[in-house]
Structure 1
């Protein structure tokens, strides 16, 4: 994968993904569409500054290209078995299968303009609460039975939530809750469509001020209002 990404160095190579992506959507080649969009997004993320420099000559930015790619990616997911798969897993009480899909869904809601529907801030927070409770319940089990070996598989080997989805969503929740504390009416407004940069910046809300590590267990100093993980807060 890394070697393939490194081969994409020209603007035309990058932009070629767009018509191919839409052709996949029109022909219902949805798996191919997801693959192309994911690959192009990985190319952008790997060398964002490099692409911004090249794209500026064409009055484009990496963020603009990313929006189009995420639109195609979200459409491909919705037309495929993503959302039906999530709902089916929930109905069958397959928490192990539903958990990573729920976190992916929350991540997509942050790009809600790509999802083709409006979502209120309170609804997003509700979906995030469901995702956190689901993951916490599965984490509390400690291990899962392995149907192939008859033994147990450590929980750490099962991706209950992709790392980027997890931290970016938690960061956005912290950011939104702080905004709602200042203006409660915000909870009833539509969730904005965030850019990759805005989501990355929101991760600072779950980053320890002292050690700079991401943490889902942070304390806020009542004096300086800096947030820090429990170990570093003392």
Structure 2
């Protein structure tokens, strides 16, 4: 595909040079716009990012931004790719594919935790920017030795990415809801209240669960329950990938 046939949105995401124009070079470019927008999101959240605000921050008009980012939707996509950043250089032996995907998932969770507004950005389609493609490349490298066609490998990775994003979003929302309260205390009160409320005649299995006191009254000092929950769910997803790989070998 020649540069002439590449869509404008992809050209901006990949920073392809614009057609040469006569006169002075532009005082504004995509990187400056995106950097200002990311800084605004870091300070005030994604909802605070508007083309007007970004333009005022840079000392330009809103119309001046359209030449470089085209639309608010593309600006958000540019911001996400820039803010997620390049993936870590994860290189493990082929048989350690599970450890490699775990490393990648934990690294992505760290990015989502550090910049929570990333989870508020809509997912309008598959990854297109260079950084997100870099994360995909790291994951594909982990499955390089698997005897699967490339489409199947991509299919295995989609639920993994979906889990990481959804688990981090749920953690973010629950953290916001409980405020300064400790997660163990909130979960214990929840379990104790439901144990008293649920009628085993109507919900026998749920009643049995809560009667077993599944949530401890307090957590050990320094224990990160959210991280433990994330790892448990991640292992379940990776077990599914392992099962798919086993079926293929058979």
Whether TM-score is above 0.5 comes out as no
TM-score normalised by structure 2 residue count:
0.28
> Which of these two proteins has the greater Rg computed from alpha carbons?
2
Larger RCO (CA within 8 A; separation ≥ 6): 2
